[in-house]
Amino acid sequence: MPIPEDVTGEEIDKDVRQELQSLPKTLAEDVAKNLVMVARLIDEDPEGAYGYSRVALRLASRVAAVREAAGFAAYANQKYSEALAEFRAARRMTGSVDLWPVMADCERGLGRPEKALDMAGAPEVHKLDKAGQVEMRLVAAGARRDMDQLDAAIVTLQSPELASNSVQPWTARLRYAYADALLAAGRESEAREWFAKAVEADRDGSTDASDRLAELDGVEFVDALDETENENDGENEGDNAGDNAGDNEDPREESTGSADATAAQDDDKD
């Protein structure tokens, strides 16, 4: 796959670059460039990211960072079985538990929420850092919802991290998940409160909490461009009506004119 000229491979993290030192220099550079492309595209073009991850995997399948990148690219494309296999391979190579939450979420994606809950109660969770533990809590709550256990999902999300007033990288997503679970359980006023709290913490727009809050408040957003087009359409229809009024009064011609107008409107819609 083509690599843009501005990609040098130096953009990757220092730890990943160190892993690639086990490869011949030219090969390491090629792998690094493909990993950069995975990171660059994974949010906006997951299919493209997946393609670059497969190239990197073909070049260096014994590098843990490559297996991890391939896992995230597959995960972004909802290829959960493939993602899980790559994450497991990366974990075997490194011995790290950092991928435990996303591995559990792959189990959810494969329709096995019970397995995800088993992983949420495993000893590995205690080895995770705070961000990983919060992520695991989010996955466990999602698994509860998969099983239609809404009350259990709400309880799962109740934690010191949720109650804290300090804003951390995970705060907005945690508050959002709690608000969404409350809303699903029919507790609308509480949900509104927590969507508002999610908005306060969502400094980079990682959730659509503001839209959900507006929806609960009955606010409807109107696209200004669409509104202008509708006004113009109304003016055109008025002009057409005036023109038709002065035409021949033959009712057959009036009917034909109406049919033509309707057809034109239908064409516009198409």
pLDDT, position 226: 57
Q: Please say if the pLDDT value at position 232 is more than 70.
A: no
Mean pLDDT of 231-245: 53
**pLDDT band per the 50, 70, 90 thresholds, residue 237:** low
Tens digits of per-residue pLDDT, 124-137? 999 999 999 999 99
Q: Are 185 and 151 in contact (CB under 8 A)?
A: yes
Q: Considering the chain, what percentage of its residues have pLDDT values greater than 90?
A: 76
Q: Which residue has the higher pLDDT, 251 or 220?
A: 220
Looking at this protein, which amino acid is placed at residue 151?
Answer: D
Query: Mind listing the pLDDT tens digit for each residue in 29-85?
Result: 999 999 999 999 999 999 999 999 999 999 999 999 999 999 999 999 999 999 999
pLDDT tops 90 at residue 249: no
The pLDDT value given to residue 179: 97
The phi-psi region of residue 77 (left if phi > 0; otherwise alpha if psi is between -120 and 50; otherwise beta) is alpha
Residue with tokens 């998940």: 177
Read off the tokens for 270.
């198409």
Sorting pLDDT into bands at 50, 70 and 90, what band is 219?
Answer: confident
Asked if the model's pLDDT at residue 239 lies above 70, the reply is no
CA angle 220, 225, 226 (to 5 degrees): 60
C-beta separation of 12 from 35 below 8 A: yes
> Whole-prediction pTM value?
0.78
pLDDT, position 265: 40
pLDDT for res 235 = 56
Cα Rg, the chain, nearest whole Å: 27
Question: Is 103:88 a contact under the CB 8 Å cutoff?
Answer: yes
Would you state the pLDDT for residue 270? 39
Question: What is the structure's pLDDT at 174?
Answer: 97
Q: How many CB atoms lie within 10 A of CB 44?
A: 8
How far is CA 85 from each of CA 80, 139, 143, 169, rounded to the nearest angstrom? 9, 18, 20, 28
Burial 26-43 (b: 16+ CB within 10 A, else e): eebebbbbbbbbbbbbbe
pLDDT band at 247 (very low <50, low <70, confident <90, very high): very low
pLDDT, tens only, 74-124: 999 999 999 999 999 999 999 999 999 999 999 999 999 999 999 999 999
Q: Work out the mean pLDDT of the chain and round it to a whole number.
A: 86
Please indicate whether residue 184 or residue 252 has the higher confidence score (pLDDT).
Answer: 184
The confidence score (pLDDT) of residue 213 equals 92
Q: How many residues does the chain have?
A: 270
Nearest to 19 by CA among 73, 71, 62, 49: 62
DSSP-assigned letter for residue 128: S
Percent of the chain scoring above 70 in pLDDT: 81
